[in-house]
Structure formats: C-alpha cells, structure tokens
Amino acid sequence: MAEILSKSPDYRVLRRLTPRTEFAPCDGQATKTGILLDVETTGLNTAQDEIIELAMVKFDYLPDDRIARITDVFSSLNEPQHPIPVEITELTGITDEMVLGHRIDPDAVSAFVSDAVIVVAHNANFDRKFAERYWPVFERKPWACSATEIEWRRHGFDGSRLGYLLAGAGLFHQAHRAIDDCRALIEILATDVPNQVRSAFAILLERARRKTIRIWAEQSPFDLKDVLKRRGYRWSDGSDGRPRSWYIDVDEVNQVVEVEFLRTAIYLKDVEPRMQIMSAMNRFSSRL
C-alpha cells in the first residue's frame, strides 16, 4: 500500500528511519574521521547550565567528502549539581533518576575524538560552547554546523530543523535521546541533496572550510536598526563579553562590499569597523 501511495503525486510516504552503519564503499580509498555530536543540557545558558547527556557518532569519509561508514558510537549520561528542570525532562525524557551516579569520563571523551579532523553539530553555536567548557580537546578541533552552514531552504527543504530534513528525505524518527538525533543527522548528511551531484556533507565541508569575517556595526544609529536587520545583521546584547552591537558574518570575498555598505548607508562617513577573522577552528566558540 505504501509503495502504491508513493507513486502518486497526491501523497507523500514517510518511512521510519532504520539506523545503518554503511553508506558508501571505500574501495581501498584513504579516509578521514569525523564526529557528529549532540548534548542535552539543563538549560540554554552555555556558561552556567550543565550537560546531562553527551552523544557522539564517529564516522569515516572519503576524499570526495562522501560519508563511508559509522565506526563507533559514544553515549553517556551525567548527573548535574542541581535537579533537572521539569521542562527539560519533558523535552528530553531524561530524569534525575536516570542520571543519578553517572559521570562522563573526560579521558574517554578525549580518546574518542582524538583522531577526528572535523566535529559536526546541528546547532554548533550551542553545542560547541558547552563541549569546550567541559572538555578542552574540543578547542583544538575544527567545527561545522549542519543547521546554519547549509542553505537547506534553497535546496528544497522546509527548514533546518532535523524533523523537516528527515521529512524532506521521506523519513521520520522518534527523537527521544541525543544519540537518536545523531543517527538521524548522519543519514541526512550522507544523502545527496536534490538537484546536486554531491552529498549534504560535502556541501557542509565546502562551507566550513571557508574563512568568514565578523563585522561589528558598533554605535550605529538606532533608527537604522531595521536596515541592519533586513541585511542580515544580528544583535549582541553584550552579556557574554562581546560588544553590545549589531554584527554580521560574511564570506571573506564580501568583506570589502560589507564595509562599504556601513560607510555609505549607516555611518555616512569613512569608518573602520571592528572585524574578526573566523575559521572552523574558532567559529561558534565562546573563545571568539
């Protein structure tokens, strides 16, 4: 019945994701090692809240940036110093009883990621800050964000949330734990993007390898904030030590154009805005 429905233009069939370990044959080719990472936490404050679960999937990928196979899996709970908030338990399914007495072994984490040349998270701006706070090994690894460094809507998906991506690929999964999300994400990244001849992971790596420039529009006129927002600028409230200012991240090749925009449309004078060079080594890190 499902097969018949899938052939009709009036229906879309979603199939439950069946986790697998093999994606593309190696055929003797040299491979590199990557890590998919997801953390569950007691809240959204990356400087104060605590990790209650860490999940990682280790995989090999080929010279053409196709994912070849999963080679190992890491999943561990961690008991926080304070009770898990009710809303977090409702969201993650993780209770105080489940984490009681559990600790994430830092040596085991370091050993697991030691040979990885890239760490991927579906919200690296969140996950990286937590991971670096707990395990310094992640400060020395390049990171990529599968949620923001692929233009999913341009490739025909409804959004960047994992559920949307799975549905776009004709799949669904029961998202209960971090490891389930990691397995779902690797399925998406291993899939060829519609109208492309390469995988989502290849597109992600191409973007992650490029340098970007963070440009700060400090002390910009308040009445031009909507102009900045429409152009893609985001607001930093200064609570994390960064400037209290609007800012934007642009590719290195667009740096001159963006500075000229600030000079002619915002400040109306010759200015040299604060700029920071970012790469996969420091992008999404609280050290930036």
pLDDT at 240 over 90: no
Burial-class residue 84 by CB neighbours within 10 Å (0-12, 13-18, 19+): buried
Average pLDDT, the chain: 94
- Asked if 26 and 107 sit in the same domain, the reply is yes
| CA-to-CA separations, 57 to 85, 171, 278, in angstroms, rounded | 27, 20, 26
- Asked if 178 and 236 sit in the same domain, the reply is no
HEC profile for 7-46?
CCCCCCCCEECCCCCECCCCCCCCCEEEEEEEEEECCCCC
pLDDT tens readout for residues 171-217: 999 776 899 999 999 999 999 998 888 999 999 999 999 999 999 99
Percent of the chain with pLDDT over 70: 99
Look at residue 197 in the predicted model and tell me its pLDDT.
84
Look at residue 16 in the predicted model and tell me its pLDDT.
92
pLDDT at 23 over 90: yes
Mean pLDDT lowest for which of 132-136, 175-179, 194-198, 243-247?
175-179
Q: Which of 161, 181, 208 is the last residue of a domain?
A: 208
The residue among 106 and 195 whose pLDDT is bigger is: 106
- Asked if 233 and 260 sit in the same domain, the reply is yes
Report the alpha-carbon angle 263-266-271, nearest 5: 35
Query: Does residue 74 sit within a domain?
Result: yes
Query: Does residue 160 sit within a domain?
Result: yes
pTM, two decimals, is 0.90
Query: Does residue 167 sit within a domain?
Result: yes
- Asked if 36 and 175 sit in the same domain, the reply is yes
Query: Does residue 120 sit within a domain?
Result: yes
- Asked if 64 and 108 sit in the same domain, the reply is yes
Look at residue 196 in the predicted model and tell me its pLDDT.
83
Question: Which residue stretches of 173-218 are H helix?
Answer: 178-190, 200-208
pLDDT at 269 over 70: yes
Structure tokens at 91: 């969201």
- Asked if 65 and 156 sit in the same domain, the reply is yes
Mean local confidence (pLDDT), 74-99: 96
- Asked if 236 and 194 sit in the same domain, the reply is no
Q: Which of 154, 174, 208 is the last residue of a domain?
A: 208
- Asked if 140 and 195 sit in the same domain, the reply is yes
AA identity, residue 68:
A
Provide the domain limits for residue 226: 212-278
d(CA 170, CA 280): 31
- Asked if 198 and 217 sit in the same domain, the reply is no
Number of domains within the chain: 2
Mean pLDDT lowest for which of 61-75, 123-137, 167-181, 225-239?
167-181
At 161, which CATH number? Answer: 3.30.420.10
Look at residue 176 in the predicted model and tell me its pLDDT.
66
- Asked if 71 and 26 sit in the same domain, the reply is yes
Mean local confidence (pLDDT), 102-126: 97
- Asked if 134 and 200 sit in the same domain, the reply is yes
HEC profile for 140-170?
HCCEEECCCCCCCHHHCCCCCCHHHHHHHCC
- Asked if 106 and 164 sit in the same domain, the reply is yes
